[in-house]
Structure 1
Amino acid sequence: MRNEKAVVVFSGGQDSTTCLLWALDQFKEVATVTFDYGQRHLDEINCAREIAEELGVSFHVLDMKLINQLSANALTRKDIEVTAGEEGELPSTFVPGRNHLFLSFAAVYAQTIGARHIITGVCETDFSGYPDCRDSFVKSLNVTLNLAMDEQFVIHTPLMWLNKAETWKLADELNALDFVREKTLTCYHGIRGDGCGNCPACDLRKKGLESYLEKKQGGTKL
């Protein structure tokens, strides 16, 4: 794959930044595409732009604010509290159709720049119950996009079967543990780095990091 071009669906968070670093290790040329969907923290886009510039990859933003007009959720509405899903319900941060739309538009962008590979940081291991993070969805959409556009796209999901500790391990193997920890924005309250430490995203990230560092320092293999 080293002689091919790839597009990374990029938000500037821990997962997509780890995927970007993975892609840079796998492909000759890498581009990023970021989506402005009216998220409550526009610094997410600024963070993504800064990381892309620092890593020397192209950065492209697509306006997807239509999503904000279609559904009410905690990622696009500051008046909705960030809560985890209870009793089988989805978290308040679930944005219906987001990954479906993002990957579809990323494919159009990939075709425009002559890229065949699309990378996304979705994960079924620590996925909060989001249906559009499942492996079955990604595989299905991959087939649909190829049929719809008469292309041979390959959607890569490097984190699909990794928990958060293993995602930190991958970042470390890519010599970027501190980079990912300090530069990325995962927090639902818009705080970079280790974040607020209390929201569901920060809690998952923090527990994963602590687990990885504990096993690393103890010489235990994940």
Structure 2
Amino acid sequence: MTTKLEPKKAVIILSGGLDSTTCMGIAQEEGYELYPITFDYGQRHKIELDNARLVAEHYKVKNRHKVITLGFLKEFGGSALTDESIDVPDMTNVDEVEKAREDSEVPVTYVPGRNLLFLSIATSYAEVIGAEAIYIGVNALDYSGYPDCRPEFIHKVEEVMALATRVGVEGGPIRIKTPLSTWSKADIIRQGTLLNVPYQITTSCYNGQSEACGVCDSCRLRLKGFAEAGVRDPIAYRELPSS
């Protein structure tokens, strides 16, 4: 009698953006059963929650998609993404983008403790459902200076997870997978295109309108990545920055 093997499972931290949606495609390609988790933390770009739902539906895992509310992050503020009194920087040309990155290691769009919280909650979800991996779309090359996107951070969190979970102390720790960590944005888009990742239902804009602004740092990185990959960006932009 043949024993049916249980499918391997992975939790994907899904924002509805380009990187996390690419992680969905990669996790599927690697044979994982997908369990996306999305966080509503009072972000300015709340439209991404709708995109995350569309992505979960696209991958036919709508019934497994968890949306977790973390409203206290908006109450804390301290970021242009959660505090309406702090403007999202308008990066209208390449020189301004580069100067902003040189002047400030950590930009105003950094949300204090966000990825630490996300990974902690995703770990809880993963342990309950028996997932062996958590995918997160952090990037160490095209990132915007966020301390919680660095490989050192991910490594330390994984160490803590092994100590703080039952599966960890029993010898089967949950792994954090960061497949995009060393890729450029163009590399990410090329790979995602090969995997038929639905970029047309993703958003990257920090301003959160129905059309992407085209001039915030996140839009700039996305547009630059598509241009370098030689692929047309399928979403609409309100404005295209000067090159």
Q: TM-score, normalised by structure 2?
A: 0.81
2:54 to 41, 50, 59: 50
**Given that residues 88 and 207 in structure 2 are in contact (C-alpha distance below 8 angstroms), is that contact kept between their aligned partners in structure 1?**
no
1:35 aligned partner:
39
Structure 2 residue aligned with 1:135: 151
Report the residue type matching 1:153 in the other structure: I
Name the counterpart of 2:229. Answer: 212
Looking at structure 1, the residues matched to 122 and 67 of structure 2 have their Cα atoms a distance apart, in angstroms, of 11
SS in 1 for 2:65: strand
Residue equivalent to 1:64: 70
Percentage of pairs with the same residue:
42
* Superposed displacement of residue 105, structure 1: 0.6
CA shift for structure 1 position 127: 1.2
Greater radius of gyration (CA): 2
Q: Could you tell me which residue of structure 2 aligns to residue 113 of structure 1?
A: 129
Q: Which residue of 2 aligns with 1:184?
A: 202
Give the secondary structure class of the aligned counterpart of 2:125: helix
* Distance change >3 Å, CA 192–CA 11, structure 1 → 2: farther
Partner of 1:166: 187
TM-aligned CA deviation for residue 65 of structure 1:
1.4
1:143-176 CA distance string (max 9 Å, x none): 1011011321010001000011111111112133
Structure 1 stretches lacking a partner, 5+ long: 215-222
Shift of the alpha carbon at 1:88? 3.0
Alignment partner, residue 218 of structure 1: none
1:88 to 104, 121, 131: 104
- Distance in 1 between residues matched to 2:71 and 2:221, nearest whole Å: 27
Distance (Å, rounded) in 1 between the aligned partners of 2:209 and 2:25: 22
For 1:192 and 1:111, the matched residues in 2 are separated by: 36
Name the SS of the counterpart of 1:61 in structure 2: strand
148-157 or 70-79, which deviates more: 70-79
In 1, the alpha carbon distance for the partners of 2:76 and 2:83 equals 12
Alpha-carbon separation, structure 2, partners of 1:132 and 1:11: 15
Deviation at 1:70, TM superposition (A): 2.4
Amino acid at match of 2:206: Y
- For the residue of structure 2 that corresponds to 1:62, the secondary structure is strand
* Contact residue 107 and residue 144 of structure 2 kept, 8 A: yes
Q: How far apart are residue 43 of structure 1 and its match?
A: 1.6
Match for residue 11 of structure 2 among 7, 19, 23? 7
Alignment partner of 1:146 is 2:146: no
Matched residue count: 209
Change (3 A) 1:191 1:27: farther
- Aligned: 1:76 with 2:97: no
Q: Are the equivalent residues in 1 in contact too, given 2:78–2:112 (CA < 8 A)? A: no
Which of 27, 30, 49 in structure 2 is aligned with 1:26? Answer: 30
> Within 2, Cα distance between the matches of 1:208 and 1:41?
21
Give the RMSD, CA atoms, in angstroms: 1.7
